[in-house]
Amino acid sequence: MDTGWRYRLASVLGVAVLTAVGVVAVNNGTVQTAVTSLPILSRLPTDPPSGVEFSMEVLLSVAVITGVFLPLYKPQPRRILDIIALAHKRVLVGVFALATIGYFDYTYRLPRLTLLLLAPILLFVLPLWFIWLRQPDTRTERAVVVGDDPSMIERIVEAYDGSMLGYVTPPTPYRSSDDLPDQESYGVTDGGQASSEHGYVGGLSRFEDVIQKHGADSAILAFEGADRAEFFGALHTCYEHGINAKTHVDHVNSLLVNPTNDEGPIVDIDLEPWDVQDRMLKRLFDVLFAGTALLVLSPIILLITVAIKIEGHGPVFFTQERTYKFGNTFTVYKFRTLKPVDEDVDLDIDGSRRTTLGDFLRVTHLDEIPQLWSILTGEMSVVGPRPAITELESDYESQVTDWRQRWFVKPGLTGLAQINDATGKEPQQKLRYDIEYIRKQSFTYDIQIVLRQIWKVLEDVWGSLYDN
C-alpha cells in the first residue's frame, strides 16, 4: 500500500475512532452530572442513552463527522494553521448537520448536552490528529530537488542522505544536457548519493503539482543564486503548501538560516520565524489594532476625504504597487498628498506638487490610514519591514547585497527602520534595521516598536505645531 492510501486510511479511521470515543465520553453519567452542576448548564437534562439508542447515537455521529471531513482525507501538504482552520470548519459543519438531522427526525436526535460537550472535544482532538499525520517524525522524509543549477543538484545529491522523490528543473536547456544528473545517477545509493524514486518529475512551472501528486514534505533548492526570482517563487510555493524548504550551505548568507556546527551541508530555510501560537497572537493583534483604529478614526477619515475632494487635486486615494512576501506584489493605498503627475517613481518630492493639506497629512502620518485595510486583509502587518516600491526594487538590489532577505516576512505599517528614520534613500541602513528586526522579531518586540512609533508621531505633530 502506497503512502497516499496509508494516509487516507489512517485519517478516516482516526476521525471515526476519535468521534466514537468522544460520544462515549460525553455520555458518561458522571461526566454529565459534573457538567450540569455548573449554573449555566443546570437546566439541561442528564439522561445518557443505552442499548440500541446509544448505538444509533454513536453510529450517526461517526457517519456524519467522518463524512464532513472528506476534503481532508486527501494527502496534501498544509500549514499547521490551515489544518486547524479546516478541521474546525469541518467540525462545526458536522455538529450543525447533527443538530439539523435531529430537528427534522426525532428518531436520530442527539441530546443537546451531547452535542454541546462533543463539539469542543472534536475541535481539540481532530486538528491534533491531522497535525500529527503530517509530521515526518517517524516517517521517511519525502524530498524533491528544485532548481536550475546542474552542479548544485549534483552536490546536493552527494550530500543528502535521505530519500528523494526526484527533481524539478527547467525542461530546457538542462533537461537535454549531459550535465544534469539523470535518473540512473540519482539511483546510486553508495558513495553518499541519495536515491530517487522518479528522477525528473517536471519543470519549475509544475512544482506545485509535483508537491500534491507525490506528497512531498521537503524541497531542496538548487538554484544558481539565492537572489533569483525563481528561487523566491519556489520558497513561496513551499510556504503556501506548508512543506519544509532546504538549501545547500553555500546559500546560507543570503537566507534566513542559522546553521550550527553539527549541521551538514543541507540546511533548513526559516520560512516562518514565528511559532504557531505567536503567529496567531500577531495576527490577532493586527486585526484588533487595524479594526479598532479604523473604527475610532472613521470621523477623521470622512473629514480627510471631504478635504481632499474640496482641494481638487485628483482622486482621494493614491495607489502604488509594493513588494511583499517572497517577491509578490500588492496595491498600497494612501490618502493623496501630492498633485498627480505621469512620471517615473521617485523618492524626491517635487516642490511644485506639494499642497498644504498634503504636507499636514504627511507630518501627522494620517496619509497612512488606508493601509489599515491592507492589515485587515492580511497583506500587511502592524510591524514589519516597510514594503518597497516595486518599481524601485531593482535599484535597491543593485545597491545592496541580500536586499531580498526582507521578503521573508510580511511587510508592516511601521518597523525598526521607520522608528530610526531609515528610509529608502539609505537602502543599506534600512536593510540593516530590517534584518535586525527579522532576526529578533517577537510579539513583545512588536509592541515596543508600536509604542515608539506612537511616541514618534506625537513628537512630529508637536514639532509641526511648534514650528507654526
Condensed to tens digits (0 to 9), the pLDDT of residues 248-262 reads: 777 665 565 544 444
Q: What is the pLDDT averaged over residues 74-95?
A: 80
Q: Which of 409, 415, 388, 391 is nearest to 323 (CA)?
A: 388
pLDDT at 253: 57
pLDDT computed for residue 336 by the predictor: 86
> Is pLDDT at 137 greater than 50 in this prediction?
no
The confidence score (pLDDT) of residue 186 equals: 39
* Average pLDDT of span 277-294: 86
Who's near 19: CB < 8 A, 6+ residues apart? 61, 62, 65, 66, 122
- How open is the CA angle 273-279-280, to the nearest 5 degrees? 170
Give the pLDDT band (50/70/90) at residue 228: low
What are the C-alpha distances in Å from 44 to residues 15, 107, 112, 117, 403?
Answer: 28, 19, 8, 12, 61
**pLDDT-derived band of residue 191, with 50, 70 and 90 as boundaries?**
very low
Is 83 or 408 the better-scoring residue by pLDDT?
Answer: 83
Range in 55-64, 88-97, 328-337, 346-355 the model is least confident about: 346-355
Give mean pLDDT, residues 261-274: 66
pLDDT of 372 above 80: yes
Is the pTM higher than 0.75?
Answer: no
Strands 317-323 and 218-222: unpaired
The pLDDT, as a whole number, for residue 47 is 64
Pick from 49-53, 54-58, 171-175, 341-345 the range whose average pLDDT is largest: 54-58
Task: Inform me whether the pLDDT recorded for 19 exceeds 80.
Answer: yes
In the chain, what percentage of residues exceed pLDDT 90? Answer: 13
Average pLDDT, whole number, for the chain?
A: 76
The pLDDT of residue 302 is 93
Residue 365, pLDDT above cutoff 80: yes
Nearby residues of 80 by Cβ (< 8 Å), 6 or more positions away: 131, 134, 242, 276
Of 115, 149, 148, 151, residue with least CA distance to 35: 115
Q: Which of 80-89, 134-143, 257-266 has the highest mean pLDDT?
A: 80-89
Out of 75-79, 174-178, 388-392, give the one with best mean pLDDT.
388-392
Write the DSSP string, 297-316.
THHHHHHHHHHHHHHTSS-S
pLDDT confidence of residue 189: 36
Q: Give the tens place of pLDDT for each residue, 384-411.
A: 888 878 777 777 766 766 666 677 778 8
| pLDDT given at position 56 | 85
Q: How confident is the model at residue 456 (pLDDT cuts 50, 70, 90)?
A: confident
Q: Where are the domains of the chain?
A: 3-134, 143-269, 276-467
pLDDT at 449: 92
Per-residue pLDDT, 242: 73
Handedness of CA 364, 365, 369, 372 (dihedral sign): negative
Q: Which residue has the higher pLDDT, 348 or 238?
A: 238
Q: What is the pLDDT of residue 8?
A: 81
Decide if pLDDT at 348 tops 60: no
CATH code for the part of the protein at 143-269 = 3.40.50
Statement: residue 171 has pLDDT above 80: no
Reported as a pLDDT band with limits 50, 70 and 90, residue 102 is: low
10 Å CB burial of residue 464 (0-12, 13-18, 19+) is middle
pLDDT of residue 1: 46
Which H or E run includes 463? Answer: helix 443-467
Q: Tell me which of 72 and 187 has the higher pLDDT.
A: 72
Which H or E element spans position 68? Answer: helix 51-68
Which whole number is the average pLDDT over 17-37? 81
CA 84, CA 265: separation in Å to the nearest integer?
33
Q: Is the pLDDT score of 114 beyond 90?
A: no
Q: What is the pLDDT of residues 310-327, one digit of tens each?
A: 887 778 888 888 887 777
Q: Which residue(s) pair with 320 in the sheet?
A: 332
